[in-house]
Amino acid sequence: MKNSIRTAGFVLVMLLVVPIGRGFLLAGEEPLVTEQPATALPVFATDAARGFPYLLERMKGRRAFLLGDASHGTEEYYAFRKWVTRHLIEDLGVRVWVLEAEWDSAHMVDDYIRGRLPGDKGARQMLAEAFTHWPQWVWANEEMVEFVEYLKDFNSRLPTDRMVRCYGMDMQFAIGASLRFLAGQWPEGSVLRQKYQDLYGWWLPYLDDPMLFNQAYADGRETGSLLATELLGAIADPSPEQRRILTMLIAAEEYYRTMSHNKYEAWNIRSHHFARYVRDLLQSREGVQGIVAWAHNSHVGDMSGSDVEDTGLTSFGRLMRESLGPGKVFILGSAGYAGTVLAATEWYEPPGVMTVPPAREGSVEALLNGGGWDNPLLLWEDEEQARLWSSKPLWHRGIGVAYTPEAEMPSYYLTAKIAVRYDALVFWRNTRALQRMVAP
């Protein structure tokens, strides 16, 4: 693992005391911090008192490990999450890997890593078939190819009940697959098949473009109650899979019904669904040793103390802390100062490699860039460090699947109290664009 992480183009160092080079001004105020940095410790050190083993020790006893990326198109963020996740699996026994992806796509990944697909199907072919809708590159990329091959090999040496599982917690594009799944659950002419047809018949034309669902609701096609709730109530004894799919549909219906008139509330519906889905997995047999989730910083980061909190927005990370307790959740965020990223200029447009300009003054990225360290990993080891990093909000950049570098401010920044938002933050001065998956 040491060699594989170095080939990703960075050598990570970890600071056990806040790594600050020089202070900076926020709106004419005094510098937030003026301390000099402590000695950097190599994250690859095998000594338990140094480097990455120290971070892993801090993770022990947690049940949910939320690993964030500052963009969905940066190689370093994916490579580091792979490396951390391997340690969580091999050293702490975690057996559930959750993606910010749809259940049906993740289900195919799950089948692959457990050896349940035809033997001649490789990782690239599987990922190409699993992730067919935009933005495919988020999960169909070269970093994922390597990681699912690792998981398949790891699982091949384990009994079925000890294998790593893969799940998808998102529902934005899952409606079509969910409805097709339900259509096959009951025979033609049965009461439940007719109930399904009565409720969802008008949705069927929208299956190939779920973003049109909110327009359908805006056009007055909605019913007085959530359709999936009605269908779930009509099933006397739903199977676990039927219940999970219908629960996903309930969240999706709420999301699209709300998005047409209140995007903030739609965001919260999605966040609550993520948290509910992961909590349910933690109650499962596979989740007894904990779960590791990969999602964007905007989801895993705790919204407390950020500028968007005033809008009423919440987040997956905040909800997990509230439900499990802060001591049971570990949130690891990521940040980068400059480099390149793989993203699209607009939704549904093909991606390209774009230049990410240096982060703006007054941002956590600019502060860390000025500190003199290439790739620090921040931990807040005592009350004084936590106070320094949570006393004032800092600008913090986040890039999604669509990106316009010329419109960086204010589109791609929020302000956040970093020590509140994350338990740890990994930083790169220079990052590289994620490599799209080579065609199978």
| pLDDT number for residue 239 | 85
CB 11 within 8 A of CB 374: yes
pLDDT bucket at 284, cuts 50 / 70 / 90: confident
| pLDDT number for residue 34 | 34
| pLDDT number for residue 225 | 55
Long-range CB contacts (within 8 A, 24+) of 109-116: 109/148, 109/166, 110/165, 110/166, 110/167, 112/148, 112/152, 113/148, 113/151, 113/152, 113/155, 113/163, 113/164, 113/166, 114/152, 114/155, 114/160, 114/163, 114/165, 115/152, 115/155, 115/156
Residue labelled with tokens 């022990």? 60
User: Is the pLDDT at 10 greater than 50, yes or no?
Assistant: no
**pLDDT of 18-44, one tens digit each?**
222 222 223 333 334 433 333 334 454
pLDDT bucket at 438, cuts 50 / 70 / 90: confident
**pLDDT of 201-243, one tens digit each?**
777 776 766 666 666 655 555 554 577 888 888 888 888 888 8
Helix/strand/coil for 302: coil
Range in 40-49, 249-258, 325-334 the model is least confident about: 40-49
pTM: 0.88
What value does the mean pLDDT take over residues 289-315? Answer: 90
**pLDDT of 109-163, one tens digit each?**
999 999 999 878 899 999 999 999 899 999 999 999 999 999 999 999 999 999 9
